[in-house]
Amino acid sequence: MLPLKLRLLSAILTAAVVMCSGCSLTKDPQSYMRLPRLPEDKESLKQLIQNALPPGASLVRPKKSRALGSIYVNDLNRDGVQEAVVFYQSADNAKGLTGMLWQQDGDSWKQLEQFQGEGYELDTLLFEDVTLDGNLDMLAGYSGGPKVSKGLVVYRFNGQNFSKEMETPYAEFIVDDLNQDNSKDLSVLTLERHVDSRLTVYQYARGGFQPVDTVVLDANVNGYASAKAGWIADGIRGIALDAGVGAHSASTQLVYFDQGHLTKAFPDHDVPLKPRQAINGDFNGDGIMEIGIDREPKGWEQEAMATMPWITAFYRWDGRQGFSTSPLYEWYMDIANGFYFEIPGAWNGDYTLERPKDEGVIRFTLAGGVSGVEWKTMPEETWNAMQPTADWMEIGRTAKTVTALLLTEESRKYTGSFRPLSGLEK
């Protein structure tokens, strides 16, 4: 067990789970190895794994993985032979998690080893070459529960089993090339509330992970909801750290290398606040990350935060002082119904939003009272009874409801502005 694991500093490192869109998110989707659609000659793997599990044990998926299954298959050491990794939880869960390492053996598979995990939950599982030897390492983020700190273990595969290369507590971690030296580095964010918080960038050298630099952060935040790496301004690679601050506010701090040292975009006492955590990313495809900041629509200033129909405006850091004065674009994100609406820039922010009580309707009205778009969320049975119809177009769906756009001469211009939230994961 991690020596950390159980100094897991009960409730000291509280890290919030990634928000709705998964937007979790926070790791490169290509870094996750997905459960393959195994052809018949590999179907034996699934059966072998099931047969090897103790009675009552069940396979475990990482909380933050975008993979669809629990079996991770890849050629870890690039020798042409596939390996497979799974984690399981025993019936009584007394020992915590157990990992299993398998290797392809002709037309079948053989188990190389079982190893003890370092927690009771698997928070994150990532496969990257962080030891810089051309092979994939396994980065497993373990947790003891939602109010307990997390521990990261970096495993190296030697062809037969895993060896531990690094163990450290964390709130979030990121694999990137933050200092732009053409070698991957590992950034580890830690938080001990009201005591200490910092981001440390490590790089593998001289047989171990060496700290490149550390920057001290505000330890008085409630917790971190996400950490995301990307270009945060022209020529500046950085990490956007979203934190909860107080009961009804959040902030985004940006950290980057400047002349070889980690630097914060904003002093701790002057990090721009926003009403709640929102997503960050390069959603307009220009190569530079935008920072999401929610705002209330015009006329909704007195609405309770819990029921506010938020507009998410996206800003860019100017590389010097702060965020741009005007948003690059705005979205209405219907998280419950699985889609978002790209508010047309041609509206120039001159619109109102209506939500008639108990009707399941959202209506955007343009200047001069011109109807913009209107959609309605209804039970699936109601939608099925309406079919076929040329007056409505489905734009969102859940297990029990369908959301449909009312098609008018004006709204038909914007049918391409409705997109599934799942697309933000790609």
pLDDT above 60: residue 23: no
Is residue 18 very low, low, confident or very high in pLDDT (cuts 50, 70, 90)?
A: very low
pLDDT band of residue 397 (cuts 50, 70, 90) is very high
**What per-residue confidence (pLDDT) applies to 146?**
61
Those residues with Cβ within 8 angstroms of residue 233's Cβ, 6 or more apart along the chain or in another chain: 288, 316, 317, 318, 319
Under the banding of pLDDT at 50, 70 and 90, the label for residue 26 is very low
Instruction: Determine the pLDDT at residue 215.
Output: 98
* The predicted structure's pLDDT at residue 33: 44
Q: What is the DSSP letter of 75?
A: -
Strand partners, 240: 228, 254
By DSSP bridging, strand 311-315 and strand 290-295 are antiparallel
For residue 225, give both structure tokens. Answer: 């909801």
- pLDDT score of 42 more than 70: no
Long-range contacts of 285-291, Cβ-Cβ distance < 8 Å, separation of 24 or more: 287/231, 288/230, 288/231, 288/232, 288/233, 288/234, 288/316, 289/228, 289/230, 289/231, 289/232, 289/240, 289/316, 290/314, 290/315, 290/316, 290/328, 290/329, 291/240, 291/252, 291/315, 291/316, 291/317, 291/323
pLDDT in tens, 260-279: 999 999 999 999 999 999 99
Q: What is the pLDDT of residues 406-421, one digit of tens each?
A: 999 999 999 999 999 9
Element containing residue 45 per DSSP (H, E)? helix 43-52
The confidence band for 31, taking pLDDT boundaries of 50, 70 and 90, is very low
- 65 has a pLDDT exceeding 90: no
Local confidence band at 390 (pLDDT 50, 70, 90 cut-offs): confident
Comparing CA positions, the residue from 173, 218, 214 lying closest to residue 193 is: 218
Please tell me the pTM assigned to this model.
0.86
Note the maximum CA span of the chain. 72
With a cut of 90, say whether residue 217 has pLDDT above it: yes
Query: What's the pLDDT tens digit per position in 287-307?
Result: 999 999 999 999 999 999 999
> Tokens 């099925």 appear where?
384
Single-letter code of the amino acid located at 352: T
Does residue 69 register a pLDDT over 90?
A: no
Checking if the pLDDT of 246 tops 90, the result is no
Task: Look up tokens 């869109």; give the residue.
Answer: 21
